[in-house]
Amino acid sequence: MAYLTYDEYEQMGGQLSEAAFSTLEFRASKAVDALTHGRVMNEQPVRKAVKQAVYALIGTMQMDDENANAYGGRDVQSMSNDGVSVTFSAAAAGGDAARALNARYNNVLKAFLFGEATEDGVPLIYAGVAS
């Protein structure tokens, strides 16, 4: 489910083309569904916290994609400006890079979804088993 329309994205200050937005919004929505265990999939209207979380995640994903393209897919650990110095992270083995990226995206979403709950009082990001 799309949690943010292109018009809403532009009203929030987004600058991407509609095609680029569509791809990133799809990825961001999937991340929301995974983190919330599908708890917001059928909510209408979409709550403001979810819209803001998707907007922030789209920006993070866009920045990560631009950095990956600019630096040959390598993760930038630190950067200077005037002296033009870039330090890259050590190459991650196996799925470490994917796990780190997933954790980064989850942290962005958690900043907006922390404290949000369903009508039954279950926190959106609760991963336990309800009794």
pLDDT of residue 88: 61
Q: Give me 85's structure tokens.
A: 């110095």
Q: Where are the domains of the chain?
A: 6-113
User: Cis ω on the peptide bond leading into residue 45 (within 30° of 0)?
Assistant: yes
pLDDT of residue 55: 97
pLDDT of residue 102: 87
pLDDT of residue 77: 60
The rounded distance, in Å, linking the Cα atoms of 24 and 15 is 13
Cα distances from 17 to residues 21, 25, 69, 75, 112, in angstroms, run: 6, 12, 18, 25, 24
C-beta of residue 118 within 8 angstroms of C-beta of residue 130: no
Got the DSSP string for 19-69? HHHHHHHHHHHHHHHHHHTTTTTT-SSPPHHHHHHHHHHHHHHHHHHHHHH
pLDDT tens for the 131 residues of the chain, in order = 799 999 999 999 999 999 999 999 999 999 999 999 999 999 999 999 999 999 999 999 998 888 766 555 556 566 666 767 767 665 554 567 778 888 999 999 999 999 999 999 999 999 886 55
pLDDT of residue 57: 96
